[in-house]
Amino acid sequence: MARLVATDPFADGLPLEGAGVAVTAHDPGSMTLIFAETGAQVGALAVPAPGDVSAEGAARLIWMGPGQALLTGAPPPEGHVTVDQSDGWAVARITGEAGPTVLARLVPLDLRRAVFPAGRTARTLIGHMTGSVTRIDDDTLEVMVMRSMAGTLVHDLARAIRTARRHSV
């Protein structure tokens, strides 16, 4: 019988540092896609409106599309249609004031704090991949891509950091 062993989706590619940012792997714990309409209660959290995040303690409910939200940091709720996504996503956190500048090379969004404050999220292109960007706090952005694209994300972020470093000199 085959023995399956969990591996880090970023292998040895993270952490990265440079150009005023640090990129680290983040393990959000269980990740559950919930199918429910905006405003519906999922435990203590309400399903967020498009582009928003609901949070309480470690639990976050991230808008992922019409009628869909991703629950992280809490066990799956009962009474909702859910799909376990825990092994499907790779999550990286980009910390540092220059995070929006580095990501500007990969993401077609204005991620400056004034436009994209804490608690905002967007499904978007990240390079040539689809993914999600969420602002956690003033200096932290969380980037999620499908697990199979984790190596590509590391490659693209490393290149964006090198390019940003050259242009800031």
Intervals of the chain under pLDDT 50 = none
- Domain 13-28+87-169: give its CATH superfamily: Probable tRNA modification gtpase trme; domain 1 (3.30.1360.120)
Q: What is the pLDDT of residue 167?
A: 73
Residues 115 and 107: their CA atoms lie apart, in Å, by 14
Query: Helices marked H in 66-149 — which ranges?
Result: 99-103
Q: Is the pTM of this model over 0.85?
A: yes
Q: What is the pLDDT of residue 70?
A: 98
Q: What is the pLDDT of residue 168?
A: 64
Give the bridge partners for 93, in sequence order: 24, 142
User: Degrees (nearest 5) of the Cα angle 13, 58, 136?
Assistant: 60
Q: What is the pLDDT of residue 5?
A: 80
For residue 114, how many C-alpha atoms fall within 13 Å in the half-sphere facing its CB?
0
Residues 104 and 124: their CA atoms lie apart, in Å, by 12
